[in-house]
Structures are given as structure tokens and as C-alpha cells.
Chain A
Amino acid sequence: MNVVSMNRIGKTYHLDAVDVPALIDIDLEIRPNCFTVISGPSGSGKTTLLNLIGCIDQPDRGEVIVAGEAVQKLSDDALSDFRARHIGFIFQNFNLLPVLTVEENVEYPLLLARVPAAERKRRIGALLDAVGLARKARNIPGQLSGGERQRVAIARALAPSPRLVLADEPTANLDSHTGAAIISLMREMQREHHVSFVFSSHDPKVLAEADDAVMIRDGRIEKIERREQREQRKEGTS
């Protein structure tokens, strides 16, 4: 079963007296255990689409099903609980809680998901080892570099063992070398944790890693390309 299923989704923003359509008749399936990249120019609707997939915004039309749940039917509290259990977020600006240490930042979503203390401790240790920050577990975000912060954000997003991790331009604030390392790490974590990653990005390095690439323009899906199709296209070109 697909992790996300979107049927004829529409979303319009109202700026004063002007209606600005952000998404028009979107049909999209996100496959499980896949690295999906949503790509397109600025203002194409990438972030809006990601917000709808992440259940932090509601469409005006159509139906969104995430992890088998028709999320529009959930109350705000139920939707919060749903996000806590099933969705992890990685933000462009990292968005770590500045007053918490690295391990506390990773622990926070586990508390929201009501994971028992012993299990929390086990998962935090494993994740910080995996992202290479076990030695900085007691540091606060202000003491970390940009790349380290994004590693903490990755660990935090994966902590509650979600079905889906969303990342809105996760390498935009990083230098190319660090960005590449982060993409590589995310890919590794995605495979290890058997979770679906959905990115919004127009970074070619990110696109190169994608299992599925969703091209969006002016609020419409222009093209969905599987890795195999891209590879066949490359082989054909060469």
C-alpha cells in the first residue's frame, strides 16, 4: 500500500482580493520505502504539496490519505497525534529547540509519541551513533555546525519510527560538501529504517538520489519519473 495517496487535490491562497491557485488537480502516490523528490521552480507549489502530505495544512478540494488514514476527517488533536506517530520533519533551517540538548531534541518526538523511557534511551543512542553525534549528545544546538544540526534533525525525524519523513529543501542552508554528506546520510537512513522520504528540492544531487522524482510547475504535476526511467533515459542519451 502506498504511504501517501492524493486524489484531485486543489489548494488556493487568498491574497487580499486575489485568488492564487497553489495546487491544481494533483494526483500523487508516494511509494513505501522510497526516496521521493518533489522538484520544480520557486512558486511552483512544492512546499504546499509537502505541507499537505505532512498533514500540517488542509486542501480545499480532493482527498489525502496518509498511512491508510483519510487525514481530513481527523480532528486537530487526532491529527497532531497522527503526525507524532507517523510523520517526521526535517526543515531547511533545522528548527531544533535551542534550549534542549542534542539528545533531548531527539527525545522530544518520542515523548509526544509516548514511547517508554527505556525504549527512548535505546533509540536515542542508536540514532546519535548512526548520525555520528554520540559524543555531542549533551551539547545544545548553538554549539553545533550547520551540518551537525541537520544530522540532529534527521535523528529527531526518525526517532518515533515514522512511516514518512518530509524534508523541505534540507540542503539549502548547507555548503555543497556538507549538503552531499547529508543527502548521503538520509539515503542511508532511509534504507536502514525502511521509511519513505519525501523532499522538496531543486538540487541536482538530491534529484540524482531519488527513487521517484515528481516535477511540478504552476501548481500542476508535470511529470513523475521513476529511477528506472531516468536510468533508461540516461542510457538512451549516452
Chain B
Amino acid sequence: MRTLSLALRNLLRNRRRSLTTLSAMVIGAVTVLVFGGYSRNITLSLQTSYVMRGGHLQIQRKDYFLYGSGNPAAYGIAEYQHVIDVVARDPVLAPMLAVVTPTISLGGIAGNFAAGVSRTILGAGLVVADRNRMRGWNDYGLPIDLPPSPLTGTAEDAVVIGNGVARVLELCEPLKVPNCPQRTKSEPAAGASAPADVAALSALEARPAAQPGEARIELLAANVHGAPNVASLRVVKAERQGFREFDDMFVGMHLAQAQRLLYGAEKPQATAVVLQLVHTSQIPAAKTRLAELLATMPQREPLEVQDFETLNPFYGQAIGMFAAIFGFISALIGAIVLFTVGNTMSMAVIERTAEIGTLRAMGLRRSGIRRLFMSEALLLGLMGAVAGVAAALCVAWLVNHAGLTWLPPGQVDPVPLTVRVWGETPMMLGTAAGLALVAVVSAWWPARRAGRMLIVDALRHV
């Protein structure tokens, strides 16, 4: 009969009180784990969304991240194909790579001159086959299914735009965009024709004849020399882009088209080489290896590597916010458990005062008395932790199968409301260990008091 056995029997001796304490611990564990699972799901969903669209790492010209958006053409990588070849063939990096692809980011103005509307846009030149492979990345098995890019199998002048762009450029009707409010055309459009200079530029393009019902835009961008360049492009589809700000500005096009806009007849460049890794956890190793490779590469332009967290600051902010809320909830639950278990152990000490005196008289040391009550708290904590984790898994399963959806901040599409508890072993173990630790800590004071009782006083207690 060891201390733990005696502690367990003492807990079972007062079943109702032990169950009440356990219930408080289970509710606490479920609260922490379900919120933790929800928070974890948000983090992984955001990460997956960013990695599907922009990869884990980008090799860019030095300072492009800081200043490049003002003049992307000036921060191009002329030898981007060589960079891609070196990276893809590297024996250290190759096993980590899912996709390596060049990309161009550009700013400009898109106009639907027929409707007399225009807006500033963020354009992206993409290698469609590579992007389709990137869209299949789903390392965490989330309920996210991004279909292939609408640019698949299209001509070079094809573009895909965000739903927001379609709305502002009044292209919802020809593009058959659902739930897209359109401006009431009570007055004739103010700009029925393009300004003369833009029209002249546009006329330089070998513009295909517009088909009935076809949606076209004119895209104006500054080329590498700062001169305006314009392209007439066929919009194949309007597609939601996940984040509202992005949805209102996005124009995706074939890489060759973007290169022609920025570099004209000159040697085409890319503003970044995108690397999508097999697993996010490989980022540090990949960055280290890339730094070694870039240092040995005889480049004219100095290059640097940025990860997706740096490129998308919202990701870090969202994680930080959820971590803070999680920490607050955990602290609150911890305090409740601390006082609940502490109260239970204090009552046990009072009730068993004569027993404490008997044990001490028989020769049990003060430390033995302390150990006995701490063991009871530890057992209570472990039982609460196990029951709490089990209950949290059940609650998570119910939530995940209830078909609930919600609209995260900044997004335009509702996403399934899921909580990720199963598989999050560190979170489950951490919560269980934390609960057990809080239970033990809460018993420390009552156990100390029990150990320091005078034997004769304890024996006199009725």
C-alpha cells in the first residue's frame, strides 16, 4: 500500500466532492482545449491559404520587400531561371521542395472604359501549371479545396480578377458573378471612351476583336523605364481571393503577359522566385541552405529570402492575437482550478485532522503527510486532465460535424467552423500537464499546513 494507493482511496472516500472538483477541472480543460483547437485551426487555415497562394519562401532582389512595390520593374531578377535551376537541382533543397516558380508583382490601373470606370490594381504574373500544383498544398488535411486556376489552358491575354475588381469595373454581368451588387445606371457613364493618350497606347496593342458577352479590361502599368504601357486583356473569370482587400485589387495573368507589360521587348525578368516546401517546418533548414546557395551564386543583383510570415504580417498579428486570448483564458481557468482544488484539499485536511495526528503518531514524517495530500491533488489533477481531454475531443467532434460556418476577419467567404483538438498532441499534453501542475500547486499550502500540525492538537480534533 503506497502513498498513491492511499491517496486514491481517500479521493474515492468523498466521491461527491471529488466529482464536483473533477467537473470544474473538466470544464476548464474543455474550454482551454476547444478554444485552443479553434485557434490552432485558424492559424493552420491562414497558413495554408497563404502557402497555397504565395508559397513558403520567396527569393527577391535585396530591398524589394521594402521598396519594390513602388517600382517593381526596377527590382527584377534578370537571372531568375538560373536561380530556379540552382535551387531545384540542389541535393539538400530538392527533397524539401514542392514547387519552385517565378512570379511578377506589378501595380497598375485597370479600366473598363466602356463603363467609364477604373481602379488601381495589384497584378500578379504566374506560371499557371506551377500555381495549380501550389493550390494542391494541404499539409494539415484541412477542409480547403482550391480548384485549378481559371487561367489553365487559356491564351496569354487571359486574366482572372478578384470579385471586388469585377464589381468596381462593372463586369459582374458578363462574368456571371453571383451576389455581386452593380451600380444603378441612371446616368450615362461619364467616361464612355478612354482618355486620348490611353486610347492611343491601347491602340498600339494588337487587340483582338471583342466577342459578344466577352469581358475585357485595359491594364495600364509603368514599364522598366517608367514609361506607361497598356494591354488589353480578356477576363476569363472573377474569383474570390480570400481576403477582401486583395479581392478588391487582384488581377492574375500569365507570367509572359506580365513580363511583356513591364519589360516590353527587353529580356524578361521576375520580381521573385517562389518556393513552396513540402512542410512548413522545413522553413529554417531551407532558409539556411538558400543563404548558402545565394552566397555562392555569381549574381549581378544581391538577393535575399523572405518567408511567408514576413511577407504577410497579418498572419503573425492574427496568431499573436489568438495566442494572447488563449493565454488569458488559460490563466483564468488555471486560477479557477487552483482555488477549486485548493478548497477541496483544505476541506480534506480539516476533516482528516485526527487521521493526520494518528499517522504522525505512528511515525509518518511531516513530508509524508505533505506527500499524501499532494498525491491526492496530483491524482485529482491527472483524472481531471484525462477526463477533460476526452471531453474536449467529444465536444470538438460534435462541433466539427455540426456543419457550422463563420466569416473570419478580412475574408470574403465563410469557412467551416472547426476545432482542431485531435492530433494536436503538444496542446493536449500541455493542457493536461498544466492542469495536473495547477492541482498540485493548489494543494501545496493545505498539505504544508497538514504536515505542520501539532500531533497532540490533531489527535484532540473531533
Please tell me if B309 contacts chain A, counting CB pairs below 8 Å: no
**Which residues 69-103 of A sit at the B interface, judged by CB distance below 8 A?**
76-77, 80-85, 87, 89, 91, 93, 95, 97-100
B13 touches A80 (CB 8 A): no
Complex: chain B residue closest to A166, CB-CB: B361
**Which residues 111-139 of A sit at the B interface, judged by CB distance below 8 A?**
111-113
Complex: chain B residue closest to A93, CB-CB: B354
Complex: chain B residue closest to A89, CB-CB: B361
- Enumerate chain A residues within 8 angstroms of B6, measured Cβ to Cβ: 97, 99-100
**Which residues 359-374 of B sit at the A interface, judged by CB distance below 8 A?**
359-368
B363 touches A83 (CB 8 A): yes
Pick out which of these stretches binds chain B: A1-9, A49-57, A173-181, A195-203.
Answer: A49-57
- Enumerate chain A residues within 8 angstroms of B367, measured Cβ to Cβ: 77
Please tell me if B455 contacts chain A, counting CB pairs below 8 Å: yes
Minimum distance in angstroms from A193 CB to a CB of chain B? 17
- The interface on chain B, measured as residues whose beta carbon lies within 8 A of the other chain's beta carbons, has a size of 24
B363 touches A84 (CB 8 A): yes
What CA separation (Å) do A80 and B364 show in the bound complex? 6
A56 touches B13 (CB 8 A): no
- Enumerate chain A residues within 8 angstroms of B304, measured Cβ to Cβ: none
Please tell me if A169 contacts chain B, counting CB pairs below 8 Å: no
Minimum distance in angstroms from B70 CB to a CB of chain A? 76
Complex: chain B residue closest to A48, CB-CB: B456
- Enumerate chain B residues within 8 angstroms of A99, measured Cβ to Cβ: 6, 9-10, 12-13
- B 421-462 binary contact with A (CB < 8 Å = 1; else 0): 000000000000000000000000000000000111001000
Report if A95-B363 is in contact (Cβ < 8 Å); known contacts: A100-B1, A100-B9, A108-B1: no
Minimum distance in angstroms from A99 CB to a CB of chain B? 4
Among A54, A85, A97, A104, point to the contact of B361 (Cβ < 8 A): A54
Majority secondary structure of chain A interface residues (helix, strand, loop or mixed): helix
- Enumerate chain A residues within 8 angstroms of B43, measured Cβ to Cβ: none
Minimum distance in angstroms from B274 CB to a CB of chain A? 66
Complex: chain B residue closest to A81, CB-CB: B363
Majority secondary structure of chain B interface residues (helix, strand, loop or mixed): helix
B360 touches A97 (CB 8 A): no
A109 touches B360 (CB 8 A): no
What CA separation (Å) do A25 and B148 show in the bound complex? 100
Complex: chain A residue closest to B366, CB-CB: A76
Report if A56-B358 is in contact (Cβ < 8 Å); known contacts: A80-B364, A112-B363: no
Please tell me if A212 contacts chain B, counting CB pairs below 8 Å: no
B365 touches A77 (CB 8 A): yes
- Enumerate chain B residues within 8 angstroms of A148, measured Cβ to Cβ: none
Complex: chain B residue closest to A85, CB-CB: B363
B366 touches A77 (CB 8 A): yes
A91 touches B362 (CB 8 A): no
A109 touches B365 (CB 8 A): no
B358 touches A95 (CB 8 A): yes
- The interface on chain A, measured as residues whose beta carbon lies within 8 A of the other chain's beta carbons, has a size of 29
B363 touches A104 (CB 8 A): no
- Enumerate chain A residues within 8 angstroms of B10, measured Cβ to Cβ: 99
B355 touches A95 (CB 8 A): yes
- A 2-31 binary contact with B (CB < 8 Å = 1; else 0): 000000000000000000000000000000
- Enumerate chain B residues within 8 angstroms of A156, measured Cβ to Cβ: 362
Report if A57-B358 is in contact (Cβ < 8 Å); known contacts: A98-B13, A99-B10, A100-B9: no
- Enumerate chain B residues within 8 angstroms of A54, measured Cβ to Cβ: 361
What CA separation (Å) do A187 and B367 show in the bound complex? 35
**Which residues 318-351 of B sit at the A interface, judged by CB distance below 8 A?**
none
Report if A57-B362 is in contact (Cβ < 8 Å); known contacts: A99-B13, A107-B1: no
- Enumerate chain B residues within 8 angstroms of A84, measured Cβ to Cβ: 362-364
Minimum distance in angstroms from B461 CB to a CB of chain A? 11
B361 touches A83 (CB 8 A): yes
Minimum distance in angstroms from B65 CB to a CB of chain A? 66
B362 touches A83 (CB 8 A): yes
Complex: chain A residue closest to B462, CB-CB: A93
Among B354, B361, B368, point to the contact of A56 (Cβ < 8 A): B361
Among B1, B9, B455, B456, point to the contact of A111 (Cβ < 8 A): B1
Minimum distance in angstroms from B145 CB to a CB of chain A? 57
Complex: chain B residue closest to A50, CB-CB: B456
**Which residues 109-157 of B sit at the A interface, judged by CB distance below 8 A?**
none
A51 touches B9 (CB 8 A): no
- Enumerate chain B residues within 8 angstroms of A57, measured Cβ to Cβ: 454-456
- Enumerate chain A residues within 8 angstroms of B363, measured Cβ to Cβ: 80-85, 87, 109, 112-113
Minimum distance in angstroms from B400 CB to a CB of chain A? 42
What CA separation (Å) do A160 and B10 show in the bound complex? 24
What CA separation (Å) do A111 and B362 show in the bound complex? 11
A97 touches B366 (CB 8 A): no
Minimum distance in angstroms from A17 CB to a CB of chain B? 20
- Enumerate chain B residues within 8 angstroms of A77, measured Cβ to Cβ: 365-367
Question: Please, could you name 19 A-B residue pairs with CB atoms under 8 Å apart, sorted by A?
Answer: A54-B361, A56-B360, A56-B361, A56-B456, A56-B459, A57-B455, A57-B456, A81-B365, A84-B363, A84-B364, A89-B361, A91-B358, A97-B355, A99-B10, A99-B12, A109-B363, A111-B1, A112-B363, A113-B363
A residues near B (Cβ < 8 Å) are: 51, 54, 56-57, 76-77, 80-85, 87, 89, 91, 93, 95, 97-100, 104, 107-109, 111-113, 156
Besides A91-B358, A99-B10, A156-B362, 6 new A-B residue pairs in contact (Cβ under 8 A), listed by A number: A51-B456, A95-B355, A98-B13, A99-B12, A112-B362, A112-B363
